[in-house]
Amino acid sequence: MSNAVVIQNVHKTYRQVEALKGITLDIPQGSFFGLLGPNGAGKSTLINIIAGLVRANQGHISVLGYDVVKDWRQARFSLGIVPQELVYDAFFNVREMLKLQAGYFGLGKENEPWIDELLETLSLTNKANESFLRLSGGMKRRLLIALALVHKPKVVVLDEPTAGVDVELRQSLWQFAKKLHQAGHTILLTTHYLEEAEALCEKIAILNHGEMIALDQTKNLLARHPYRWLYLDLKEDYQDFPLNLKDKIITQKPQQLVLRLHREQDSIVGILEELKKANIEVVDLHTNEPSLEEVFIHLINQETSS
């Protein structure tokens, strides 16, 4: 499989801030790739260098074989970028913005059926004549996606599309991203939610302070941090717990217990049975996936200990 995006030794420094410290990374064609990292990790900087919005101090990036600096025209035709910020042009309505954007890419009337289709797919048809400022946050986000797709790019980049959006929109954005991927687009998604990357991405790169601290298939990466959390609400304020549960207890509050479970070795059913045997009654329970922070700490600890 050839690569959709090739990133070689990219450095970027903004005045004093070293935002990227030599990133090398290949994004396979047709893949759903996640770029994961906390705020300030350098994700947007990398995306913006791919897009030509920011210039690297060192290194090269190519998109479908086109260097983003030397063959910038072809590289930009190949790319659809959904920026993190809600950027806008207050003068024009939704359809006008889409037509203008298509025009910038050299596409005229022949592209209008595609614009209608995009409006339909992204549920913007009845907002086609509204100005950007009158759209809800979710609609603005969807419009930005439509704008990125107006020239049918092969590689689609979504920079934190779900940061600060409600659950419903997040679900619909996930569905849409999956559909794009199935239609053959290479997808590059940045996020700081691990569960999002886990749900969508085949392969993940983790960025922290401008450095890549992990690059692997999603399943391998999660296996490196094989724990999850079990939250139990108890009927009473118990004091004694079965001995083999004690080393799993992370926090113990009156009528509440948090356990750290190994994905493969510990079963929730087994834990519940043991509690039952000890006459401890569970009222409610839920599990929590490790947060990105926890995977990080784990990865960083691994790196320093090995």
Ligand X SMILES: Nc1ncnc2c1ncn2[C@@H]1O[C@H](COP(=O)(O)OP(=O)(O)O)[C@@H](O)[C@H]1O
Interface residues for other proteins in 2-31 (CB under 8 A)? 14
**Calpha distance 42→23 (Å, rounded):** 10
Q: Which is nearer to ligand X, 19 or 75 (CB)?
A: 19
Binding to ligand X by residue 290, rule CB under 6 A?
A: no
Q: Which residues contact 16 (CB under 8 A, 6 or more apart)?
A: none
Structure tokens at 31: 């893949």
Smallest separation (angstroms) from Mg ion to the CB of 275: 43
Binding range to ligand X, per CB under 6 A, among 39-47, 148-156, 197-205, 282-290? 39-47
Among 4, 10, 36, 45, binds ligand X (CB under 6 A): 45
- The answer to whether 107 contacts other proteins (rule: CB under 8 A) is yes
- Return the structure tokens found at 56: 């690297």
Among 34, 83, 161, 210, the residue binding other proteins under the rule CB under 8 A is 83
Under the criterion CB under 8 A, does residue 53 sit at the interface with other proteins?
Answer: yes
DSSP readout, 32-51?
Answer: EEEEE--TTSSHHHHHHHHH
Instruction: Tell the smallest beta-carbon distance from residue 157 to Mg ion (Å).
Output: 12
Asked if 106 touches other proteins (CB under 8 A), the answer is yes
If one asks whether residue 162 binds ligand X (CB under 6 A), the answer comes out as: no
In contact, 132 and 94? CB cutoff 8 Å: yes
Candidates 119, 122, 147, 261: give the one binding other proteins (CB under 8 A): 147
- Residues 196-215: x where in contact with other proteins by CB under 8 A, - otherwise, as a string: --------------------
Closest CA to 157 of 4, 3, 1, 264: 4
Q: How far is the CB of 103 from other proteins (least distance, A)?
A: 3
Helix%, strand%, coil% for the chain, nearest 5: 40, 30, 30
| Residue choice 13, 29, 84, 121 for contact with Mg ion (CB under 5 A) | 84
Query: What's the distance, CA 194 to chain centroid?
Result: 8
Partner in contact with 17, chosen from other proteins, Mg ion, ligand X, none, beta carbon below 5 to 8 Å by kind: ligand X
The answer to whether 209 and 37 are in contact (CB under 8 A) is: no
Rounded-to-integer distance, Cα 221 and Cα 95, Å: 42
Query: Which of these segments, 33-41, 129-137, 279-287, 288-296, binds ligand X (CB under 6 A)?
Result: 33-41
Q: Residue type for 284, please?
A: D
- The site for ligand X (CB under 6 A) is made up of 14, 17, 19, 37, 39-45
